[in-house]
Amino acid sequence: MSARPRGRSFFPLRCRIFLLGVLLIFSGVGILHAQDLPDIPKPVPVIVGGSGFITEIQGGQPLLGPLIAPVLLVPIGDKWLIESRVTFEANLVQLPGSSAFHGQVLKSIDYAQVDYIANPYITVTVGRFLTPFGIFNERLYPIWIRNLQTDPLILPIGVGPSQASTGAMVRGGIKATSKININYTAYFSALSTYQPSNVTALDSDRLAGFRAGIFIPDQRIEIGGSFQRLLQDERSNLFGFHGGWQPQALPLELRGEYMRSARGSGYWIEPAYRLTEVPFWQYAMRRTQLVARLQQYWVGAIPSDILPSVNTREFEFGVNYYFRDGLRAVSSYGRQFSSAGNMNIWTIGLTYRFAFPLGHGDVN
């Protein structure tokens, strides 16, 4: 067991300053006349989440992926929320010489956090939280939200080893003017190598960062940027930009991200078009969505285990069909180009979103 050098704190000075700042902001809350929410009903504990069954054929190798990811939401009083997402999934593959699919169920605690809504502009979060670098990991990752079931190539950049951080975060949304909202997130994560026996790793990197963005509701335009400082290993800086646009006049969604780090860089752009305006077969067409994603990745100076090892380009095209709210069929075809070999990527499956109250209490 290694002893800590005398006179040195467990937390370095920068970390202490950050925590002190968070604490001061937190304590400043008492000064504010926080706006009550009399018109919002008293919340009850709820389980929401998504499930699905996705079949992926990558380079001719089929992979069956049943998945369920419930999110537990427990509100306490007017300002607290305990939330946690657990994912149970299996990656079933064919073993050589066998036509049957084999695999085991993987269990992971994606996040387990406590949120305190300090005032209209500040929410403080502690615990294990999804690293807010870019928007995909935090907002677009769930199986029932994502338009294409494959991950963007650059997803591992900036989100840590298991896409989560362990520490504290301050965040909020502010109405800057009548036409512009500002949102921000600042966070610090400690190094964790915790590896429980019955779930996948609960590890995290030592890092600090922030993300800020503006949202123009009338035009439905969102742009923002992320910055992160890795406080271990090569101690490098990472940055990224994200954007989204849902024009009022068209049933179109356009999203994209660019990220740059010492371990790799890249971008993805994803347009999605709902066929609500097609004049024929309207019952089916208004439930149909066409999606495409164009992405490119460049390797960095420092090798990474979780990013592609060579420069890669990929194009995907998908068709989703919404049977009803929350239940949809998804399908896509993609072609990946790299010096390691080109390959086709097919996906087909079903996704479902669910929500139900926890217990038998009054929900009305």
Report the site for other proteins in 259-318 (rule: CB under 8 A): none
Regarding 225 and contact with other proteins (CB under 8 A), the answer is: no
Q: Does 181 bind other proteins (CB under 8 A)?
A: yes
Q: The tokens of 127 are what?
A: 């615990």
Minimum Å distance from CB 35 to other proteins?
6
CB-wise, 128 or 171, nearer to other proteins?
171
Part in contact with other proteins (CB under 8 A); list of ranges 45-53, 154-162, 276-284, 293-301: 45-53
330 lies in the binding site for other proteins (CB under 8 A): no
The tokens describing 184, both together, are 């921000």
* Position 83 contacts other proteins (CB under 8 A): yes
Residue type, 113: Q
The C-alpha atoms of residue 44 and residue 276 are separated, in whole angstroms, by 36
Q: Does 81 bind other proteins (CB under 8 A)?
A: yes
d(CA 181, CA 177): 7
Contacts for 170 with CB less than 8 Å, ≥ 6 apart? 22, 25, 122, 123, 124, 125, 185, 186, 187
From candidates 3, 31, 100, 249, binder to other proteins by CB under 8 A? 31
- Rounded to 5 degrees, what are φ and ψ at 13? -60, -45
Q: How far is CA 358 from CA 47, 77, 190, in A?
A: 6, 16, 32
Does residue 247 belong to the site contacting other proteins (CB under 8 A)? no
Does 13 engage in binding with other proteins (CB under 8 A)?
yes
Q: Which residues contact 143 (CB under 8 A, 6 or more apart)?
A: 50, 51, 52, 54, 67, 69, 149, 351
Q: Note whether 145 binds other proteins by CB under 8 A.
A: yes
Determine the Cα–Cα distance for residues 71 and 267; give it in Å rounded to an integer: 29
* Phi/psi of residue 210, nearest 5 degrees: -145, 160
Measured distance CA(173)–CA(124) in Å, rounded: 12
Q: Which is nearer to other proteins, 20 or 302 (CB)?
A: 20
Among 24, 99, 279, 280, binds other proteins (CB under 8 A): 24
The yes or no reply on residue 37 touching other proteins (CB under 8 A) is yes
CB of 67 to other proteins, least distance (A): 17
Residues whose CB falls within 8 Å of the CB of residue 25, separated by 6 or more in sequence, listed in order: 118, 122, 124, 170
Among the listed residues 54, 67, 69, 117, the single contact to other proteins using CB under 8 A: 117
Q: Which of 2, 35, 99, 193: binder of other proteins (CB under 8 A)?
A: 35
**Which of 11, 28, 102, 301 is the binder for other proteins (CB under 8 A)?**
28
State which residue, 102 or 220, has the beta carbon closest to other proteins: 220
Judged by beta carbon, residue 87 or residue 185, the one nearer other proteins is 185
In the complex with other proteins, the residue whose CB is nearer, 60 or 361, is: 361
